[in-house]
Amino acid sequence: MEAPINLTAVFMLCLIVLALGIFGMTMSSRIQILRRLAAEDRFEDAGERLKRLLRFGLGQKRLVDPEEFKPGLAHVLIFAAFMVLALRTITLFGMAFGGWDFHLPLLGANSATGRVYLLLKDLVVFGALIGVGYFLYLRLVVKPERMTYSGEAIFILAMIAGLMITEILFDSAHIYRFEDGQTSWYTPAGAVGLALYRALGISPETAWVVGRVAWWTHLVQVLVFLNFLPLGKHFHVITGLPNVYFQRLEPQYRPSKMDLENSETFGVQKADELTWKMALDVFSCTECGRCQTHCPTYVTGKPLAHKALNMAIKQHLLEQVDVLAKGPEHREELPDLVPTVIEPETIWACTTCGWCETACPVFIENLPRIVEMRRHQVLVQSEFPQEATRVFRGMETQGNPWGLGASSRADWAEGHDVPTVDENPEFEYLWFVGCAGAYDERQKKVSQALARVLNAAGVNYAILGKKETCTGDSARRMGNEYLFQILAQQNIETFKEYNVKKIFTQCPHCFNALKNEYPQFGGNYEVLHHTQLIETLLKDKRIQLDEAFQELVTYHDACYLGRHNQEYEAPRKALQSVPGLQLVEMGRNRRQSFCCGAGGGRMWMEETIGTRINQNRVQEAVATGAKTIAANCPFCITMLRDGLNELGVEGVEVKDVAEIVAASIKLPVVRDEPRQAAEEA
């Protein structure tokens, strides 16, 4: 069989050395950036990381989300082609040195494994061409709003198509020239190419010339493609899988614990204070725009689009690579990220709803860097929205964001048979009422309704009353880590005093802080949200419902119960237990639910840019025809009620799940023995 002449091998070797040399120099600058940034431990639990890499990286699980199924499937087809053709690429390079019959062990047509591989190789080639065709149609014809037009993307798609076509042309020419034009069941792509040659009247000899040109073109394209990847958005081809491997294993988002006594810096001011994982994140952004589809800030015209933020930080890191390489003694040469690279309005727009992170196929973590930049603005620069001043002062002096008297924290419970920890020291559950449940006039009614449910079920509980203080969730999301830690330690000390083991809350933000963030400070408890507790009480038949609620109800998922803690079903099951209640879903529900606009401290800030987030959500709720919007978060209830009022919607109410259940409870109330004995004592 004919073998490539030595000149071919020499020339190919030169090309490989040149391409790898250029690639190495480009990658060294990128790696230099990662090495110069702040440390972050992402190396624990290698076994779990490998499982997630297989599931989400190699398995591409997030890409085939039902909402994005077609583009996700197209990407999977292209990804599969690159994975399978990696061995074929090695084989093609090997032919330059080992002859046209060169193949890797077990991958030749004379073995069963080789024939299976050749069939798979041809199938993924067809699949990749289908994927490329779909993406070209999507970008050039459909032009979805989430996708920004990109000449680079079109070029890359053309390159991918070129790789597939040259593979077919070479493979079929090889069959035509060396195998007497005899195709087999395992060479469908070769059969297509062979049919094309014959249809055009091309002889085996001429076809082999075309095939060799295709072979050279294919391998040169591979080397060009390799060097193009680090230069644009397709850098994610290199960094995507590592980014999936180094994803956060903790709850959806838990801010880092700041060492306030020993830290020399607070938050992120300059590029060198970003962690290497934050840089890997922006290098891995595919610019697919999935983070924008249900992002409340992007949808309503706020100055925050996570895709654009990724691109801005990435560009800044590349521009500052020389300064970063000089080391920390030259950090003053780096400009501040805010406001030089990122406008203040951008970092303060985020509601921390978590949609962007659950949507990202490569697990980019957007929230940490936003909160870290807020921390610097608050703790060092003292530059933050004016409304936050009152909130911080109220939390610091009275333990609640309104600044209302701490002594009145338990006034809502008078006459509602709600024991304090001193009155019922043998309680099973601590009911953490929260600031809204204790002070907000509307939310007090929710607290009282929940008390009726608990008493009807005979739950052995108690409240802290005046000894309770804010969890500090809003302070932490707004960047005031100092205030958050003071409040957290105060609550933890109180919990320790009363030997608290189990807690339930009526606020998802309190629930998330107590469950996921207090353990950072030694506070480890079994924490439930009140809808989880109610659903359990209903399942155990500790309460019975008989009063019909003959209304159409739609349920709004709170971000900090849903996306941040993956609880979607307990509230729905509780509602579905109410006689006569008809539950209808909004189009955006569960993981794809749309934020009310109050998270991330936005509850306390004015919304003056774009359209109002709560109005967007209310319009969707009203469109279902429901007369009641069910929720389970004080912030959500406030925002949804305000949205109804702002839009002038009449005849629609917002109620907590606890209120709906309480209105349907069958009396008389049955008390449990431990609670009754404690009260009699």
Where residue 305 sits, what CATH number does that domain have?
1.10.1060
Residue 253 domain-assigned?
no
Distance CA 643, CA 595 (A): 13
Say if CB 354 and CB 252 are below 8 A apart: yes
Which candidate, 318, 233, 313, places its Cα nearest to that of 274?
313
On the 0-12 / 13-18 / 19+ scale of CB atoms within 10 A, 308 is middle
Single out the residue of 426, 399, 396 nearest to residue 410, CA to CA.
399
611 and 552 within one domain: yes
- 327 three-state secondary structure: coil
Average confidence (pLDDT) per 10 residues, the chain, 681 residues: 66 94 93 90 92 90 83 90 92 91 88 93 94 91 79 89 94 88 87 91 92 94 92 87 92 85 88 94 90 92 92 93 87 92 94 93 93 95 92 94 92 92 94 95 94 94 94 95 95 95 96 95 95 94 86 95 95 93 94 93 90 95 95 95 94 94 74 48 46
Give the residue numbers spanning the domain of 161. 46-231
Q: pTM of this prediction?
A: 0.87
CB-CB contact of 120 with 84 (8 Å)? yes
Q: Is residue 681 in some structural domain?
A: no
Closest of 278, 211, 274 to residue 246, by C-alpha:
278
pLDDT of residue 670: 43
Q: Are residues 300 and 411 in the same domain?
A: no
The H helix count followed by the E strand count for the chain is 27, 8
The dihedrals phi and psi of 564, each to the nearest 5 degrees, come to: -75, -25
The answer on 286 and 217 residing in a single domain is no
Number of domains in the chain: 3
Q: Would you state the pLDDT for residue 326?
A: 85
Residues 348 and 393 in one domain: no
Using left for φ > 0, alpha for ψ between -120 and 50, and beta otherwise, residue 255 falls in beta
- The neighbour count for residue 512, using CB atoms within 10 Å, is 26
pLDDT, residue 52, reads: 93
One domain for residues 431 and 284: no
Beta-sheet pairing, 461-463 with 653-656? unpaired
Task: Please identify, among 348, 381, 414, the residue that sits at the C-terminal boundary of a domain.
Answer: 381
C-alpha distances out from residue 290 to 62, 252, 363, Å:
11, 18, 12
Does 354 reside within a domain?
yes
If asked whether residues 182 and 198 sit together in one domain, one would say yes
Same domain (yes/no): 288, 365:
yes
pLDDT at 669: 45
What's the confidence (pLDDT) of residue 667? 63
306 found inside a domain = yes
For residue 265, being part of any structural domain is answered with no
Query: Residues 515, 654: one domain?
Result: yes
Asked if residue 72 belongs to a domain, the reply is yes
Q: How far is CA 416 from CA 278, 455, 456, 557, 639, in A?
A: 50, 9, 12, 28, 27
Residue 679 falls inside a structural domain: no
Yes or no: say if 560 and 509 are a contact pair by the CB < 8 Å rule: yes
Q: Could you give the 3-state DSSP secondary structure of residue 512?
A: helix
Residue 621 forms part of a structural domain: yes
Q: Which two tokens stand for residue 333?
A: 């040469």
